[in-house]
Structure 1
């Protein structure tokens, strides 16, 4: 029997013995403390492996211990063992050998969620909704995503055989794909969203991101774009140098872009715009969300600090920490936080203070009272310690409970798959409509499907009942609670009509993805996307645009 100790125990064993390291001011004492604690840990590790009552896997034990120790610092300082180096390289370069498809769980099955256009999965006709039963004859239903990814990836020009179950097909069938060198685009889409407005979706900052953005801007200008929307929503960031080069496209050569400050001398760097800009005058808007982080925040923050773009959307994530990879023995690596970054106004947008934790070990956000005011080039106030605040905030509309339930239970996804099997063609993505008659068919299709949900009012009634029971007043108000529960009980038929606008939009996007893949899902959103609509409004009003940027 193998058994791995809990993370808490390992954290105590591995990290608890080193707590004294940070109290030493004399280098000699600190060096002695390091040697001493490493010796204690090596002895402890040996004794646990020898005497623990159950068999212990040394590799697993050490990995859990290292992870627990590093997690006490921040979420971005990570140990990367040799067998995960390829995955890490893919994250930073956007390149790997594989079939070019996003695969994930749907309704408990490993399903093709998106074949990337022009790559093996797409060329061999795999569709969204195809269930993968076997890879090279290996049953995969009980395997996790990491194992499935390893089976699908491999050297370019090698073959991989998939057994596919497709909706409408009588029997599963086999398809053999030849793996290729896959490069995930940082700019999955660009196009015109108005007569003079170009749109660029930037989803990552892996190698080549700035080159892709440059080319997209040039192509859009050739198509007649005189204004730009750069969409950084949900962009998790990536390579710092790509953020510097993208900002450089729109600010003067020689301008400060970002500086990094850390403990080691080599961590203190200043990055400037080294190249001639692509365009210093084209009106810009930048879209951000709460999941825009790191390099995405640098680009948005730099363009805001220089009053070069109007930032629209929600407050960003607030990751102002820089990571560097350091080689370790046995081909492993350490990704370690080495510095904080500061954008031109002087602010650091790091939201969580990992160096100060409460008695339970939890890190908190920088208090509003400790945030410092800085100024943009035109004198507009901006603040540090909590992400990038948009110049124009757009309130996020939440989905209705019934729409969330239909999504979570896979009914939107499944219906789109069946719809695709019945309809060989649909209108272009930008003009596709889901008719009233088709919605009525969908409602009928749902009749025997299992799904349920709880509305906010119903949740409030349950909370009120729990409070009443706690305060021993339940019996006196039970009749009123029962009446409220009956009055506000959700009705599926009613909700399917009341919230059909939400549900129809979800259906449209999912259906369009079956025919036009990634590009289609982006194009169909333009007419209803609140941030894109706001960006177009701001760009269409030069005086308002100038006011946002503090121009006189």
Structure 2
């Protein structure tokens, strides 16, 4: 056994030694690497020889890979055949399940956000909830993959989730019936002459879907609406290209986002093409603590270019880019390779996007007591390069008199979604104020509002 261990370590060390040595610094690095690899092989062989039960090589190697990547950040991981298939499902297809975005924290399954209008959302599952049992069986200490596999299943079948929620004295059970989670990322509707476009996730073709939504809204009204609400609440993100495409729908020109890698020269910038599909109509973007990654790219670009008013709550704060590096036909490495920055050069890592107008979701009865999960809460998250103190962003301010109505009072007024209600009311007030201003202007000046060149005054 010792001979085999030494032979394997020697072979690995020899492979490393074949790399040309050009400087003493590189030589030292190689020597350190050889020593660490030899240490790993030694431990591997000792476990194989002396552990209380026989252990498969595959299990040990997978554990070593998972542990290595877990030491980096929460978003880097190894994808085996099952994980690879799940990733394709999330970006392209549909599945039977509950509609939850979850993570693992300290051995417990924690909800990032429920997908809108899915069984989990309708059952009242909230961001920040802990799932401790599935059908009465404790899942603490298990793997995230196993928990996700149990929650997925045949549509029409039910599963009981035991939930621990901050502000509740005791855990409680919720029984949810699985359904087809059809990943239709873009939906739209018209309310009060305003077009509402909801993006649930940034899967393939979302940019074109948003353009189709705009055309659908105009067709339904027979003209352009008075403005738009872009709702990206509880949107966990997705494809970078689609975040760029959605931003481009509303921007005439300028940088949308830049991604910067490990080296100074690793900078890639994305720009808007000429043409705003809405013709520059007023736009409000809704975000909350579940709006992450691609959602933050769009919100940051529209905010920096002053194209939209960002409303709601501070977003999740995931400012990193993951690259899929294929290892075989059925496996890949998902590795964090860059950070992204808004057009003004701001990194949203940890801090997220601060709304221009903070509007709490007071139609949610436990919005004050429920904990909100963000990037800064994840173990091993990347630190913001500018040293942002994320805790300072959570300091409570004086209660705003506009947001003092209770859930019951809102229901009496027929308001089920206060943030959306407030966005619509803001657009209506803005449109009314613009109309009044236009009506009081001289005819020559009024022509500038409808697109003619304005006269310059001295």
TM over 0.5: yes
Deviation larger for 73-82 or 32-41: 32-41
CA distance in 1 between counterparts of 2:432 and 2:320 reads 34
Aligned to 1:527: 415
Aligned to 1:209: 206
CA distance 1:387–1:150, shift in 2 (3 Å): closer
CA distance in 2 between counterparts of 1:229 and 1:264 reads 38
Task: State the SS of the aligned residue for 2:314.
Answer: coil
The question of whether the paired residues in 2 share the 8 Å contact of 1:526 and 1:533 is answered with no
Aligned to 2:71: 72
CA distance in 1 between counterparts of 2:260 and 2:157 reads 52
Structure 1 residue 87, shift from structure 2 partner: 0.5
CA distance in 2 between counterparts of 1:543 and 1:214 reads 23
The question of whether the paired residues in 2 share the 8 Å contact of 1:234 and 1:290 is answered with yes
Q: Deviation string for 1:76-112 (max 9, x for gaps)? A: 1111122321002222x2314x5687599xxxxxxxx
Alignment of 1:228-377 (within 5 A): 228-253=228-253, 255-264=254-263, 267-274=266-273, 276-328=275-327, 331-351=330-350
Aligned to 1:542: 430
The question of whether the paired residues in 2 share the 8 Å contact of 1:193 and 1:526 is answered with no
Structure 1 residue 279, shift from structure 2 partner: 2.5
The question of whether the paired residues in 1 share the 8 Å contact of 2:361 and 2:419 is answered with no
Matched, 1:218 2:220: no
The question of whether the paired residues in 1 share the 8 Å contact of 2:238 and 2:294 is answered with yes
CA distance in 2 between counterparts of 1:334 and 1:59 reads 17
CA distance in 2 between counterparts of 1:390 and 1:164 reads 38
Aligned to 1:393: 358
Structure 1 residue 25, shift from structure 2 partner: 9.2
CA distance in 2 between counterparts of 1:245 and 1:500 reads 37
Q: Deviation string for 1:404-445 (max 9, x for gaps)? A: 99xxxxxxxxxxxxxxxxxxxxxxxxxxxxxxxxxxxxxxxx
The question of whether the paired residues in 2 share the 8 Å contact of 1:202 and 1:230 is answered with yes
Task: State the SS of the aligned residue for 1:223.
Answer: helix
The question of whether the paired residues in 2 share the 8 Å contact of 1:256 and 1:271 is answered with yes
Structure 1 residue 278, shift from structure 2 partner: 1.2
Structure 1 residue 265, shift from structure 2 partner: 7.4
Query: RMSD between aligned alpha carbons?
Result: 4.2
The question of whether the paired residues in 1 share the 8 Å contact of 2:199 and 2:232 is answered with yes
Q: Deviation string for 1:308-363 (max 9, x for gaps)? A: 00110011111111110112257321111111111111111111xxxxxxxxxxxx
CA distance in 2 between counterparts of 1:75 and 1:311 reads 27
CA distance 1:43–1:323, shift in 2 (3 Å): same
CA distance 1:201–1:164, shift in 2 (3 Å): closer
CA distance in 2 between counterparts of 1:103 and 1:260 reads 28
Structure 1 residue 272, shift from structure 2 partner: 1.1
Structure 1 residue 163, shift from structure 2 partner: 7.6
The question of whether the paired residues in 2 share the 8 Å contact of 1:100 and 1:115 is answered with no
Give aligned pairs, total. 325
Aligned to 1:88: 87
The question of whether the paired residues in 1 share the 8 Å contact of 2:244 and 2:256 is answered with yes
Q: Which runs of 5+ in 1 are unaligned?
A: 1-23, 105-112, 122-127, 130-139, 153-159, 166-178, 352-385, 406-498, 509-524, 547-552
Aligned to 1:193: 191
CA distance in 2 between counterparts of 1:115 and 1:350 reads 24
CA distance in 2 between counterparts of 1:115 and 1:389 reads 22
Aligned to 1:516: none
Q: Deviation string for 1:98-154 (max 9, x for gaps)? A: 5687599xxxxxxxx99999xxx9xxxxxx99xxxxxxxxxx9979654456764xx
CA distance 1:68–1:312, shift in 2 (3 Å): same
TM-score (norm: length of structure 1): 0.51
